[in-house]
Structure 1
Amino acid sequence: MPRSKEQYEQMRFATNNKIITAGLELFSQKGLGATGIQEIATLAGVSTGLMYRHYKTKEDLFSVLVETAVVGMNDIEEILKSEDSPSVVLKQLANTLLDELKRNNQTAQYLVLITHSLLSGEISPQLLEQYDMALFDQMTRLIKRGQSNGELRVGDPYQMTLLFFSTLHGLAMMKLSLKDKFICPSPEMVLAYLIIEE
């Protein structure tokens, strides 16, 4: 009995998810250059021919994953747009991101993938601008606002932004490296250099 169109689409969707999961795992571990198409197909449990039906090149898969990671940063932007006090916004941001890190490896993999893409130059200028400029500008403005009302420590807001996101990226790398031995620090610890506690 032939498969229905719906069954075919479900199979295609399931196969694509396997490829995406395998690609994310390998690219986050090894980067684009050191990851082979056969390696992705093997980990996904599909043939290379089937892999090529979904993605013409490993670069195409990498680009899709990087775009997914950057689009996922929209949640961070939404938190940063809040009109709440800067310390409240930062605590919400840290809680959200650290909870995600604790719950699954994919968040860590996507953060590491962004780092690989920035280092390799495999991120489009438009995505780089969306990730770097918009996110960093919002965070810098939030820090300035918190400094002006005495909630946040004095210091260069851009450097403090870099330190915050570098800490998250570093934690993501440690989670993937240490696996079960990883213990996520508390939001208070991550924000200790930013927030002036009363």
Structure 2
Amino acid sequence: MGFGEVNKLHTGSRGGDNYETVNEESPVTKSSMCHLSLNLRDDATNERFKFVLKLLALPFLPPEHFQETFERLDDRASEALAPVMDYVYRTWIRSPVFEIHHWSVFMTAIRTNNDVEGWHNKLNTGVATGAVPFYHLVSVLYVEASDISLGMKMVSEGKMQRYQRKKTRQMEGRVFSLWQQYCERTINASQLLQGCASIYGPPVH
């Protein structure tokens, strides 16, 4: 069954206890999501593409505003995007594993695992490449663990700071500016999503 054959699940059926899922014969799989993404990327000016960018920016909202904003987006979603909306609703909005506040990044400066990846790369470089003897690895990890208390103290005293590239700092400044405007109610949720999508998403004309 293609996207056009899937009935759109309107907010009314999602919001209450009478929620119905997409036909089980046509589950939203990773391949179908990728297929839809490729179709959208063929034309960057496609309205569906702009819509999906706003949908992907939902984590930038406060957790308590997710449900209402998602419902408004769902009301505007086209039939072709019904599987995507259903996937987001079942996997994230009503997830039995992750609560909304777990994946909301509202007013959060560190939103990636880049720091962990940086530490991991540094560790790999220090240990060497290829197979590492177990006892050598243990000794290296022991040295790393011994520095944790000192590192925490330096961070708390402001003697150690996180390095950010100029471009990253500028992007952070734009995001926090949008958050400030949202808190001051000078922009609405739709404008916040659109602003964040324009910062992190590919250019759309």
TM-score using structure 2 length: 0.31
Structure richer in helix, relative to its length: 1
Q: Which has the larger radius of gyration?
A: 2
